Amino acid sequence: MSAEKNKALVRHFLEAHAKGDLDTLEEMLAPDFVDHNLLPGQRPGREGYLRAHTEYHAAYSHTRYVIEKQLAEGEEVVTTFAASAIHDRGEWMGLVPTGKEFNALLVLIHRIVGGKIAEEWSQGSGLAEHTQQRLEQEMRERERIEQELQVARSIQHASLPEEVPELEGWQITPFYRPAREVGGDFYDFHHLSEGRLGMVVGDATGKGVPAALVMSTTLGMLQLAARALDSPSPGEVLAQVNETLVARIPQNMFVTCFYAILDPESGTLRYANAGHDAPYMRRSNDDAEELRARGMPLGLMPGMSYEEQGSSLSEGEGVLFYSDGLVEAHDPEGQMFSFPRLRALVSELGVEERALVDFLMEELERFTGEGWEQEDDITLLTLKRSASLS
């Protein structure tokens, strides 16, 4: 099955899960289904999974899943989604009903074989832990929230680069706007040997303080790995950071990241991608092409490798690196800004210094209309070769 069909199958599976549609779940699970994250007291295998599902719906009502992001590679589909439910029907795992709503951000990894769900890994905490965490959070003093925000703002401000590198014959223009006081998007530059420049754009799952802290941690790890390795291989840097990050961030979070290394003298660009949106390169013939390379997000699984690709920029050509806060913005009717729209705009205008960033934000404002509340962090980074080097 194609990646898109696998993602659609998982969406259908999660819809049935939220609705409590046991018949559909039973039909979609493979006979030898394996659940790699058993709850306390849950029996392994297909029947244990279905029984645990039945017990959950006997305790919770108004279950709702909102999918935020899906990534697919080979047989595996990674789904990040917001889950909510009300614990009002009965006891569950020793917890008495509270009548309160439960909210959590969860990550599920499914392996699809022959059109069936063969395996499931959960990268989020269990429902009981989330419910207990919610109750504990409600007992905390409200004034601590602002204190945490202040700390996170300071950390994030110190993490992002203070200056933009100046390279003869090149224009580099960053733009960053978080959706909240702090956010999970990031960008950075790494000065490497032989005049090479590392450029990174990434996005930590979620928003607010947790995303900002994971973002800061990832930025530091990327800096350390780039300096220690001083390698022309961006895939090697991502692989090392992934190994370190897996054990150091919450299990319900991961980081997408695109890392490119520019040789400003030759104009070559080597790049690797950890599940991030593919940048657009605008050629001299006005075509906008994607810079594609395969790789799983950072922090999900150990032992990951990252495909490398390369390209070169001639005079007047450029690249737009970006985060999904732009393409996933919605207009009042619920229509997305979308990847095709962004690609067409890049092809139309090109990658001029400041002009493309300003143009895209103006188009976004026109698209979303007045009173739009920014849904996600927005990061844009343009790179253009402006003149031949002597």
- The first and second tokens of residue 158, run together, are 């110190």
| Choice among 223-227, 353-357, 376-380 with the minimum mean pLDDT | 353-357
Residue 254's Cβ-side half-sphere holds a number of Cα atoms within 13 Å equal to 29
pLDDT score, position 139: 52
**Cβ(138)–Cβ(105) below 8 Å:** no
Instruction: Encode pLDDT of 24-71 as tens digits.
Output: 999 999 999 999 888 778 899 999 999 999 998 999 999 999 998 899
| Choice among 142-146, 154-158, 218-222, 252-256 with the minimum mean pLDDT | 142-146
pLDDT score, position 258: 97
Q: Do domains 3-139 and 162-385 have the same CATH topology?
A: no
DSSP state of 193: G
Phi-psi region of 370 (alpha: psi -120 to 50; beta: other; left: phi over 0): beta
pLDDT score, position 180: 67
Q: Once rounded to an integer, what is the mean pLDDT over residues 208-229?
A: 87
pLDDT score, position 195: 93
Architecture per CATH, 3-139:
Roll (3.10)
| Choice among 31-35, 154-158, 293-297, 320-324 with the minimum mean pLDDT | 154-158
Architecture per CATH, 162-385:
4-Layer Sandwich (3.60)
Instruction: Encode pLDDT of 104-143 as tens digits.
Output: 888 899 999 999 999 999 865 444 455 445 445 545 555 6
* Phi, psi angles (nearest 5°) of residue 126: -70, 160
**How far, in Å, CA of 163 to CA of 278, rounded?**
25
Instruction: Encode pLDDT of 309-347 as tens digits.
Output: 999 999 988 999 999 889 989 988 889 999 999 999 988
What count of other Cβ atoms lies within 10 Å of the Cβ of residue 40?
8
pLDDT score, position 355: 78
Structural domain boundaries of the chain?
A: 3-139, 162-385
